[in-house]
Structure 1
Amino acid sequence: MTTISRFTGARFLPMVPALRRAADRVPERARLPVAVGLLCEAVLLLWWLAFYPGLMSFDTVTYVWQVTTGHWRSDHSVAYDVLVWLSLQITGGLAALTFLQTVALAASLGYVCHGLRALGVRGRWAAAAPLAVVLVPSTGTFGIFVWKDSAYAIAAVLAFGACAHLAARQRPLLHWWLLAAAMTGLSVFRNNSYPAVAVAGLVLLAAMPRRWRRIAAATLVPTALALALNFGVYPAIGVQKPSTSSYYAFNYADISVAYHRAPQTFRRSDLAVMSQVAPLAHWSAGGSNCSWVDPLMAPPFDRPAAERLNGKLLDTWGHVLAKRPDLMLSAHLCRGRIAWALPRNDSDIFIQPPVVPADRFGYSRPGGLMDHSRFLPALRTDPPSDGLHSAGVWAYTAARTPELTWFLWTGSLWCWATYLIVLRMMRRRPLRSALALAATTAGLQVAVLVATPAGLFRYMAAPVLLGFLALPLLTAAHPADRLPGADPARRGRARAAARPQSAPPRSGAAA
């Protein structure tokens, strides 16, 4: 045993000088961000191994079914479906995709750390926030989900990092390219992200009006690209469009809520059309829960009939909107509650459990869509260590404690917190460009408020990550605290050198 230890130590010792030489080659200003990125990756790898090949949901199985059976549809992100397909075709599983997600998230967090330092945040706090993101189960595990929303959240973190550098008035073109890349990710990884990018662009324009050309390029071009893909390229290559009933499910849900609360508002012709799609009792029952679209759209709701009668259903929606706009607005705000209000009860925010059912959410049942699929083994948790898996499940389950939901899983809370932090920073420092730090969060919040089918955590997960990352801005130094021309990383040493040396003590007793 001693011989083996000596042999292992002898082989390891030459690596230490090599690592030191590699660290010395890293520029001094980049050492902290690189170290933070590596530490974040180490923690993310622990989550990745605990839930290997990654956390999954019903959507995960849907992605795999679509890309392995030729049923490509644009109701989900086609760009993310391509990543799923590549991972399956190249490696036969999903671990490669989730591993790359951890690398992208860790690199983005290191980039954010560098941006916080540029804004005058002390190194310890600039490092603590990214590490908290990966350590806390609600945010640390989100990067290893096989979900388009995970890629969307990573793009949001990258956008926040780019905005931090631009707010610090760092002009290198690289930050604008990274902002454009992040906005492209937001545009292609979620179908209803156009409001998010547009609102983020408007906030950036208010923060940096002289940079309107670059802001337009970084936001309008990704939006145009996503629109061209969704309405031009994807249909041309055979990707199916979402059904009409999927497009207008929000309108049907508004009708359902209004009918449940005020059935006397509806005309006989409206009721006749509605009864051809589903029994009126089902319309009322579906509207009893204004937070979710799914109860209405479930059987006995007849989707083909709804698509056939869609025009008449929209006439009903318009009539109710004209007569009782309060009911329609209430239904909309209730469904988008996760974007603006704190949860009232446990059902307001749905948090995905950390387990994959044996029947793969019904897909692998006898006669199911993936009953005999050769890709079923890829859709299960297979960690290399049972102990690590148990620890990961314990931590994730503990974080789902209802009393912690408001803090760990509520995106609306962190949206408002981010705005207050940015406003405080702008009041303390004459830095108008700091408004850019709220751009991504504002866009994400508005996008969910405009259109969301249910109160799912994943829709507002990105603002939680950005809220954690915004906290260190409370400690950002005022420009007056800096020495002229001093770099934030060297400010402490420069200030110590400029301070006059204290006189030596007169006696031992005085010392």
Structure 2
Amino acid sequence: MSVDATPAAGARRLPPPLDALRRAADRIPPHARLPVAVAAGCEFVLLLWWLAFYPGLMSFDTVTYVWQVTTGHWRSDHSVAYDVLVWLSLQITGGLGALTFLQTVVLAASLGYACHGLRALGVRGRWAVLAPLAVVVIPSTGTFGIFVWKDSAYAIAAVLAFGACAHLAVRRRPATHWWLLAAAMAGLSVFRNNAYPAVVVAGLVLLAAIPRWWRRIAAATLIPTAVALGLNFAVYPAIGIQSPSTSSYYAFNYADIAVAYHRAPQSFRGSDLAVMRQVAPLSHWSGGGANCAWVDPLMAPPFDRPAAERLNSRLLDVWSRVLKKRPDLVISAHLCRGRIAWALPRTDTDIYVQPPAIPADRFGYALPGHPMAGSRWLPALRTDVPSATLHRAGVWAYTAARAPELTWLLWTGSMWSWATYLIVARVMRRRPLRAALALAATTAGLQVAVLVATPAGLFRYMAAPVLLGFLSVPLLAAAHPADRPPAEPVPPRRRAFRGRSAPPRPEEEAAA
């Protein structure tokens, strides 16, 4: 008896595009359907933000990137890797929309991957789905992926690292997760010049979480760090990319001097003051030191940068003497600048959030006599949205999220860092699973890197921990192995074999 393959009478046929989409979905392996669906949903929301602010949100740094790559003034004070992406987008498409679109795609895929890792850790599907969607819906994090900023690429790399750590925490052995972790660490290394502490600290936390894989952890963290250092100090200078100025490298030391002089001028010797006067009036040193949270007020005129570079060794001697005599002042200045990494904001100005508008003068670059005046690339540095209604809605949502009362929840990376650690500690105690400590590795690295060196309390420096904090919340609902339904038996605990790794579990072999 033959089987009639024709549709049943009265059955509704889908339109061809939807039918093709259904057939494509049927070809996706069952275990991959949830992360793919989450990635697609996140991409849809990110595209709405992208269209609302097309070609993307911008800042002073954005204009600096474009000026550098279009005039031959390549410098490594910003991320050269991100400058290359800016250059490619301009050369291939004539604008920056392609770059921001690529960022939405990679972020959406990374969020889908992180969702899959949360499910592997026992998080129920609904919560594993809601967390990535919250990341893209909430304006503080959803719009961050469409900024033309090296920090946006840096945050995307952090999300990818979190997803890889989630899979490694449940001892998923396929090499894919290690390669993705290495790719994420490489992104962290090249998209921010001071990210070396972040990668090294993340590696140390991973080593404490899963020590038996120390060789792979070392390869995934130390190799990207070594490559990034080699690029910055050997390759870039060799190909003509200008290194940052000496005054940029040691601006933190100068700021420490200013804070100490403002608070305890009697601690300075006459010879110290003589050196400082050659760089800026003492009233400026004291004025710049009054604001311990920002380096920029000190480095602005009348601070003489060429003089500071010429007298750099003597200024560092002043800094050393202050450190020996009044270490409390230097430590206080450092912790004040790094407050965004460890403390809750005290005032509305402790965390600076970039407005969602591009001024007509392109942050001063397009003024007469300035570097971008008359540049043919100025049209690429403006908002050119396809829908004014969508743009107004995007601006309204972004502006509403900047309400001072919401700063602690939506824009404070330090708070979400500590929250992530508490959540991970609960997972480790609940399951119990020491390897779950790996989930805190990326956040710990990001937090330490900002604490070590940050020039100001800008949201973008601690945006990545906010994204990872949102993704960590569903772990509060992660099921204990004993709570699984009968269809999911609890795997037996394995004894560690001294000197070699334990044999893989049957389900791990099947997953591989």
Classify the TM-score, shorter chain. over 0.9
Among 172, 187, 190, the residue aligned to 1:185: 187
Among 411, 414, 435, the residue aligned to 2:413: 411
Q: Which amino acid aligns with 1:151?
A: A
Q: Report the counterpart of residue 505 of structure 1 in structure 2.
A: none
Instruction: State the shift of 1:14 in Å.
Output: 1.9
Q: Which amino acid aligns with 2:65?
A: Y
Q: Report the counterpart of residue 301 of structure 1 in structure 2.
A: 303
SS in 1 for 2:443: helix
Q: Which amino acid aligns with 2:192?
A: R
Q: Report the counterpart of residue 453 of structure 2 in structure 1.
A: 451
Q: Report the counterpart of residue 338 of structure 2 in structure 1.
A: 336
Instruction: Please provide the CA RMSD for this pair.
Output: 1.2
Q: Report the counterpart of residue 30 of structure 2 in structure 1.
A: 28
CA distance in 2, matches of 1:53, 1:292: 30
1:339-395 alpha-carbon deviations (Å, 9 max, x no partner): 000000011000000000000000000111010110000000010000000000000
SS in 2 for 1:306: helix
1:445-484 alpha-carbon deviations (Å, 9 max, x no partner): 0000000000000000000000000000000000112257
CA distance in 2, matches of 1:218, 1:481: 34
Q: Report the counterpart of residue 500 of structure 2 in structure 1.
A: none
User: Is 1:461 matched with 2:424?
Assistant: no
CA distance in 2, matches of 1:364, 1:487: 65
Among 48, 52, 60, the residue aligned to 1:50: 52
SS in 2 for 1:333: helix
CA distance in 1, matches of 2:83, 2:258: 32
Q: Report the counterpart of residue 207 of structure 1 in structure 2.
A: 209
CA distance in 2, matches of 1:388, 1:21: 32
Q: Report the counterpart of residue 431 of structure 1 in structure 2.
A: 433
Among 154, 174, 177, the residue aligned to 1:175: 177
CA distance in 2, matches of 1:438, 1:484: 31
Instruction: State the shift of 1:15 in Å.
Output: 2.2
Among 74, 77, 96, the residue aligned to 1:75: 77
Q: Report the counterpart of residue 256 of structure 2 in structure 1.
A: 254
SS in 2 for 1:185: helix
Q: Which amino acid aligns with 1:141?
A: T
CA distance in 2, matches of 1:195, 1:151: 18
Q: TM-score, normalised by structure 1?
A: 0.93
Q: Report the counterpart of residue 368 of structure 2 in structure 1.
A: 366
Matches within 5 A, 1:217-236: 217-236=219-238
Structure 1 portions without partners, runs of 5+: 1-9, 489-511
Identity over aligned pairs, percent: 83
Q: Which amino acid aligns with 2:156?
A: I
CA distance in 1, matches of 2:262, 2:340: 22
Q: Report the counterpart of residue 5 of structure 1 in structure 2.
A: none
1:250-280 alpha-carbon deviations (Å, 9 max, x no partner): 0000000000000000000000000000000
Among 345, 348, 362, the residue aligned to 2:347: 345
Instruction: State the shift of 1:20 in Å.
Output: 1.4
Q: Report the counterpart of residue 505 of structure 2 in structure 1.
A: none
CA distance in 1, matches of 2:346, 2:429: 33
CA distance in 1, matches of 2:82, 2:488: 44
Q: Report the counterpart of residue 479 of structure 1 in structure 2.
A: 481
CA distance in 2, matches of 1:221, 1:338: 29
Q: Report the counterpart of residue 239 of structure 2 in structure 1.
A: 237
User: Is 1:279 matched with 2:277?
Assistant: no
Instruction: State the shift of 1:32 in Å.
Output: 1.0
CA distance in 2, matches of 1:80, 1:23: 34
For this pair of structures, how many residues does the alignment match?
479
SS in 2 for 1:329: helix
CA distance in 2, matches of 1:298, 1:193: 26
Q: TM-score, normalised by structure 2?
A: 0.92
CA distance in 2, matches of 1:162, 1:292: 35
CA distance in 2, matches of 1:177, 1:380: 37
Structure 2 portions without partners, runs of 5+: 1-11, 491-512
Instruction: State the shift of 1:30 in Å.
Output: 1.0
User: Is 1:375 matched with 2:400?
Assistant: no
CA distance in 2, matches of 1:19, 1:44: 20
Instruction: State the shift of 1:170 in Å.
Output: 0.7
Instruction: State the shift of 1:223 in Å.
Output: 0.2
Q: Report the counterpart of residue 421 of structure 1 in structure 2.
A: 423
Q: Which amino acid aligns with 1:130?
A: P
CA distance in 2, matches of 1:17, 1:85: 40
Q: Report the counterpart of residue 39 of structure 1 in structure 2.
A: 41
SS in 2 for 1:61: helix
CA distance in 2, matches of 1:172, 1:483: 26
- With over 3 angstroms needed to count, the CA separation of the structure-2 counterparts of 1:30 and 1:366, relative to structure 1, is same
Instruction: State the shift of 1:17 in Å.
Output: 2.3
- With over 3 angstroms needed to count, the CA separation of the structure-2 counterparts of 1:238 and 1:34, relative to structure 1, is same
Instruction: State the shift of 1:11 in Å.
Output: 11
